[in-house]
Amino acid sequence: MVRRLNPRYLAAAALVFGATFFVRTFVLWQDGALMYQTHADECIYYASTMAFWQGSMPYTDFIHLHPPGILAVLTPFVAIGSVFTESTGMFLARMGFVALAALNAVIVTTLIWRYGRIAAVGAGLFYASWNVVAIPEGNVQLVTIVNTMFLFAALLLQRWPKRTLLAGLFIGFACATKVWAVVFVPVFVPYIWAKHGRAAAFRFLAGVAAMVTVVCGPFAIIDPGAAWKSVVTEQLGRPSEFPPFNVVLNMFVSGGSSETSTLGALFVAAVLVAIASPLVVALASRSHPREWSDAAWLAMVVVVQLTMLFTAPVFYKPYAAFVGPQVALLWGGLLVLTMRHLRAATLVAVPVIAGAALTTISGTQFTAVDRPKLVDATSGYDCIWTLNASYLVESDTMSRNLAHGCGFQIDGYGFHMINSKDDRRSEAWQREVQGQLEKADAVVMGPLESWYLDETNRDYIRANFHNDVKFEASFFDIRERKPAR
């Protein structure tokens, strides 16, 4: 017999899904960002997937600083883009990730639902509106997939606790997409062992290993040294770019990069105390781990995640979203404690959600490029050199560049980081760039190119390219090669 879903749950899920989709889409819609990248990484992932399906191997033929899971996720969108246009495929990928984020919020609601409807909806709407999660999940980011896989695994263990192998497969795919997800394993394994026994924990580990092997194994076999170097060695050896602590703190408050206020710091401190309290209570009780609440184990996950984030050599705005689902679930748990007093629950939930939504919707500004002008300015060239693949994807010229074997870098920052380390003006790297410039019939000069090119390469561009098409608001221009004399 098919179990009918609770109409109230369906209504709550629809509300949370719609709110999440609206907030992220509205943020993108501002300044025309729906049709143009808001973060360079998303176009790098899309371009890497295009290059892979056109015959180039990640790690061996081009730089890809992450496990290959994202290539599988973006494959359907690249296929659509090959039929229509690259920018169309990128737009649909962006909307697909927004829908995935909305699913994340629904799973958060579902996990809290059995403890109280108001708390569940409150947790889901908090996830929908919190700037820290809403901004990164408005475009194609690895952290969105990691969050989805974590939530699927948590839902399985809550509703079908014997499906630990399947839960392991989900966490394995998270690990095969972004190496950060490895930190889930040392918490999930003891949790499953304590709650369901040793055999269940080993099934979970088998699932993790199987998924990682299936997704990453072929690339490791083709060139194990290159894959390991890109995904592990180069990541661990990245030059330190960790911002000041108060700046990082503000990224957890509002997703911004400016310094946080004293009030914001106190807010974060209060949230951290509330998050840690279930774990503190569990440890103080000196009870066996099997008797700990799920909230205590979830708090341990957050502690491990934050430890990893704050000991990493770099920290960027999207990184804070890594703890988004866990914080939303723990906040939902706090709402559960107020459920005996409906007024108290409302007083707690409504201001927080409203404040988060207003901060997200009013505090985000992107500078979108004039796409028709970009497409027109790049339409006559076979090989365009750039360090930012976003320009090529958004102008529908990436496949043309790949087909002609042009010398350019899909991940310009990664290319520079690997080849020059701490030396921004590495001579070896600059020589390689000059070899790429010699193949180009046009170049894009933007902030990334201006920052990384030395005077020799700038002189080469000035001597061999002209007729700038400037994009003033987006701070770049396109230059074509001068005719041969």
Q: What digits encode the pLDDT tens for the residues 215-270?
A: 999 988 888 888 888 888 777 767 677 777 777 777 776 665 555 556 556 666 66
Give pLDDT, residue 409.
Answer: 77
Give me the chain's average pLDDT, please. 84
- Is 389 found in the same domain as 350? no
Give pLDDT, residue 282.
Answer: 76
380-408, pLDDT tens digit by residue?
898 999 888 888 888 889 988 888 888 77
Residue 117 lies in a domain: yes
- Is 472 found in the same domain as 355? no
Lowest mean pLDDT among 66-75, 131-140, 410-419: 410-419
CB 46 within 8 A of CB 90: yes
What is the rounded distance in angstroms from the CA atom of residue 316 to the CA atom of residue 40? 13
Residue of 134, 215, 138 whose CA lies nearest to 169: 215
Residue 77 lies in a domain: yes
What is the rounded distance in angstroms from the CA atom of residue 75 to the CA atom of residue 46? 9
Q: Which structural domain range is residue 411 located in? A: 371-481
- Domain endpoint, select from 333, 362, 391: 362
Residue with the larger pLDDT of the pair 252 and 350:
252
pLDDT-based confidence at 1, cuts 50/70/90? very low
Give pLDDT, residue 190.
Answer: 95
- Is 376 found in the same domain as 350? no
- Is 223 found in the same domain as 126? yes
Written as six digits, the tokens of 68 are: 């290959």
SS3 assignment, position 57: coil
Q: Is the pLDDT reported for residue 2 higher than 50?
A: no
Residue given tokens 């003006």 in the structure block: 425
Written as six digits, the tokens of 418 are: 């690997």
- Is 18 found in the same domain as 137? yes
- Is 351 found in the same domain as 476? no
Task: Please compute the mean of the pLDDT values over residues 60-70 and round it to a whole number.
Answer: 90
Residue 286 lies in a domain: no
What is the rounded distance in angstroms from the CA atom of residue 305 to the CA atom of residue 222? 32
What is the rounded distance in angstroms from the CA atom of residue 187 to the CA atom of residue 205? 12
- Domain endpoint, select from 309, 329, 362: 362
pLDDT-based confidence at 194, cuts 50/70/90? very high
Give pLDDT, residue 103.
Answer: 97
- Domain endpoint, select from 310, 329, 362: 362
- Is 214 found in the same domain as 172? yes
What is the rounded distance in angstroms from the CA atom of residue 147 to the CA atom of residue 73? 14
Give pLDDT, residue 92.
Answer: 93
What is the rounded distance in angstroms from the CA atom of residue 417 to the CA atom of residue 409? 12
Residue 319 lies in a domain: no
Query: Bridge-partner residues for 62, per DSSP?
Result: 58
Residue 250 lies in a domain: no
| Sign of the four-CA dihedral 319, 320, 321, 322 | positive
How many structural domains is the chain composed of? 2
Residue 280 lies in a domain: no
What is the rounded distance in angstroms from the CA atom of residue 302 to the CA atom of residue 272? 9
Task: Please compute the mean of the pLDDT values over residues 356-366 and round it to a whole number.
Answer: 60
- Is 474 found in the same domain as 347? no
CB 482 within 8 A of CB 468: no
What is the rounded distance in angstroms from the CA atom of residue 69 to the CA atom of residue 410? 17
Vertex 328 angle, CA 327 and 331, to 5° = 85
Give pLDDT, residue 423.
Answer: 55
Written as six digits, the tokens of 398 are: 């990436």
Written as six digits, the tokens of 265 are: 């710091």
Give pLDDT, residue 335.
Answer: 80
- Is 420 found in the same domain as 351? no
| CA 462 to chain centroid | 37
What is the rounded distance in angstroms from the CA atom of residue 218 to the CA atom of residue 223? 9
CB 149 within 8 A of CB 173: yes
Q: Which range among 45-59, 170-184, 459-473 has the greatest average pLDDT?
A: 170-184
Give pLDDT, residue 252.
Answer: 75
- Is 86 found in the same domain as 210? yes
Residue 22 lies in a domain: yes
- Is 162 found in the same domain as 47? yes
CA dihedral 106, 111, 112, 113 (to 10 degrees): 70
**Mode of pairing for the β-strands spanning 476-481 and 465-471:** antiparallel
Ordered DSSP codes for 84-117: S-HHHHHHHHHHHHHHHHHHHHHHHHHHHHTT-H
CA atoms within 13 A on the CB side of 116: 19
Residue given tokens 């899920």 in the structure block: 13
Residue 396 lies in a domain: yes
Written as six digits, the tokens of 145 are: 């997939």
Task: Name, in order, each residue with C-beta under 8 angstroms of 310's C-beta and a sequence gap of 6 or more.
Answer: 248
CB 164 within 8 A of CB 117: no
Whether the pTM exceeds 0.95: the reply is no
- Is 358 found in the same domain as 399? no
SS3 assignment, position 176: coil
